[in-house]
């Protein structure tokens, strides 16, 4: 085990969480005191239903809803796009995290990035098409696309691939110096509306938990995908042992599914199928390949809310590794990787 420190150190994680909560409270208070319009009631982002029960508030501020139809958790009332734009442009926690990502990116080998590159490359290799158009939402400076391109060249895949990315950070887009990557500045929605063509693959990581209407994004994206094209993405899994063993109101080592104004939608292995079908996709695979759940339980032992989790962390190392393998292979790890197909 000990995979966590490859992502960030324990001290960094504690500091980031503390800053996230401080920023969360600051932006809530700023916009609530600033007057009306900063929050609005929305329907369930997963199934579209309009009735919900109120759960415990996030740090006594943001409302959290549980859908009365699909039983999913989501932030409601939802912060406005104006609040979110301000938060992503100025909140301190985001620049802290950006620094960690940049450092991780500069290391020659990062397990998190590499496993994503090899997964997507293997997937592309197995596709029938000899020409593939690939779009990444939230491409930043194109570092993932560049790694993917390099890896595909290295393993000798003979397909013609068009690498396209879109991101809302203009500095990241302009720092790309690889002429083979087509990177665009703007929102995914605006880019899709203006794009004349279709993609065989749309790829994104840790995106859909952040946005006000993932349904609107997926249905728009579907229009710009080839029939049989794939939507491939990762997002936290709320229906996981780690996430169900810890409240969203205790310090967390990794961002949990409810962490407003950043994470607004708690996707899970349970609700993703309904959501995908509602958006016009079929399910190819839903996996939880994470490796850090037991380690997370250990690091957060003082806040565990159930006896099963406490019994797991008392096991010896071999048994813990077995438990981790069971969690990953049975859909109970805290991160999921989904492959959907346009039907
Ligand atoms: Zn629902």
Confirm if 41 and 77 have CB atoms less than 8 A apart.
yes
Contacts of 297 by beta carbon, 8 Å cutoff, 6+ apart: 241, 242, 245, 304, 309, 312, 313
Rounded to whole angstroms, the maximal C-alpha distance in the chain is: 58
Cα 70 to ligand 1 centroid, rounded to whole Å: 4
Name, in order, each residue with C-beta under 8 angstroms of 32's C-beta and a sequence gap of 6 or more: 38, 39, 61
For residue 59, report the distance from its CA to the centre of ligand 1, in Å.
23
Mean pLDDT of 320-343: 97
Tell me what the mean pLDDT of segment 57-70 comes to. Answer: 98
Q: Which long-range contacts (CB under 8 A, 24 or more apart) does 109-113 make?
A: 110/6, 111/3, 111/6, 112/6, 112/7, 113/144, 113/147
**Ligand 1 centroid to residue 72 C-alpha, Å:** 6
Classify residue 219 as exposed, middle or buried by CB count within 10 Å of its CB (0-12, 13-18, 19+).
middle
Residue 35 has pLDDT above 90, yes or no: no
Exposed / middle / buried, residue 60 (Cβ in 10 Å: 0-12, 13-18, 19+): exposed
CA distance 43 to 229: 28
- Assess whether pLDDT exceeds 60 at residue 247: yes
Spatial distance between the Cα atoms of 114 and 242, rounded to a whole number of angstroms? 24
Assign residue 33 a region (left: φ > 0; alpha: ψ between -120 and 50; beta: otherwise).
Answer: alpha
Q: For residue 316, what pLDDT is reported?
A: 97
Find the 67 Cα to ligand 1 centroid distance in Å. Answer: 5
Could you count the other beta carbons within 10 Å of the beta carbon of residue 223? Answer: 12
Contact in structure between 243 and 258 (CB atoms under 8 Å): no
Helix H or strand E encompassing 39? strand 39-40
Span 277-309, pLDDT tens digits: 999 999 999 999 999 999 999 999 999 999 999
Ligand 1 centroid vs 176 CA: distance in angstroms? 40
Mean pLDDT value across residues 305-315: 97
Rounded to the nearest 5°, which phi and psi values hold at 57?
-65, 155
pLDDT recorded at residue 1: 47
pLDDT category of residue 270 using cuts at 50, 70 and 90: very high
Ligand 1 centre and the CA of 42: distance in Å? 11
Please work out, in degrees rounded to the nearest 5, the angle formed at the alpha carbon of residue 182 by the alpha carbons of 102 and 176: 35
Q: Find the Cα–Cα–Cα–Cα dihedral 241, 338, 166, 44, rounded to 10°.
A: -70
Distance 65 CA to ligand 1 centre (A): 10
Give residue 47 CA to ligand 1 midpoint distance, Å. Answer: 4
Mean pLDDT of the chain: 93
Asked if pLDDT for residue 93 goes beyond 50, the answer is: yes
Tell me 303's DSSP state.
G
Name beta bridge partners: 303: none
Distance 109 CA to ligand 1 centre (A): 40
């Amino acid at each position: 085990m000990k995979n966590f420190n490859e992502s960030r150190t324990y001290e960094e994680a504690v500091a980031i969480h503390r800053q996230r909560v401080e920023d969360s409270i600051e932006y809530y208070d700023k916009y609530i005191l600033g007057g009306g319009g900063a929050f609005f009631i929305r329907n369930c982002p997963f199934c579209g239903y309009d009735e919900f029960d109120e759960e415990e508030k996030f740090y006594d501020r943001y409302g959290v809803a549980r859908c009365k139809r699909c039983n999913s958790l989501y932030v409601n009332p939802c912060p406005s796009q104006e609040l979110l734009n301000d938060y992503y442009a100025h909140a301190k926690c985001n620049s802290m995290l950006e620094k960690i990502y940049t450092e991780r990116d500069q290391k020659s080998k990062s397990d998190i990035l590499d496993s994503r590159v090899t997964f997507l490359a293997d997937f592309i290799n197995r596709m029938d098409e000899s020409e593939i158009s690939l779009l990444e939402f939230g491409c930043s400076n194109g570092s993932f696309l560049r790694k993917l391109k390099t890896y595909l060249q290295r393993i000798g895949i003979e397909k013609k691939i068009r690498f396209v990315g879109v991101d809302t950070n203009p500095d990241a887009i302009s720092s790309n110096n690889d002429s083979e990557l087509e990177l665009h500045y703007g929102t995914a929605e605006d880019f899709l509306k203006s794009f004349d063509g279709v993609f065989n693959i749309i790829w994104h990581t840790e995106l859909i938990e952040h946005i006000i209407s993932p349904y609107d994004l997926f249905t728009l994206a579907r229009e710009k995908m080839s029939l049989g094209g794939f939507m491939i993405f990762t997002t936290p899994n709320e229906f996981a042992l780690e996430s169900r063993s810890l409240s969203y109101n205790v310090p967390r080592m990794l961002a949990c599914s409810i962490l407003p104004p950043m994470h607004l939608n708690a996707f899970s292995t349970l609700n993703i199928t309904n959501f995908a079908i509602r958006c016009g996709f079929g399910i190819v695979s839903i996996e939880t390949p994470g490796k850090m759940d037991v380690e997370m339980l250990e690091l957060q032992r003082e806040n565990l809310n159930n006896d099963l989790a406490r019994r797991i962390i008392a096991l010896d190392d071999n048994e813990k590794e077995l438990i981790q393998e069971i969690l990953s292979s049975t859909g109970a790890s805290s991160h999921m990787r989904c492959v959907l197909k346009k039907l």
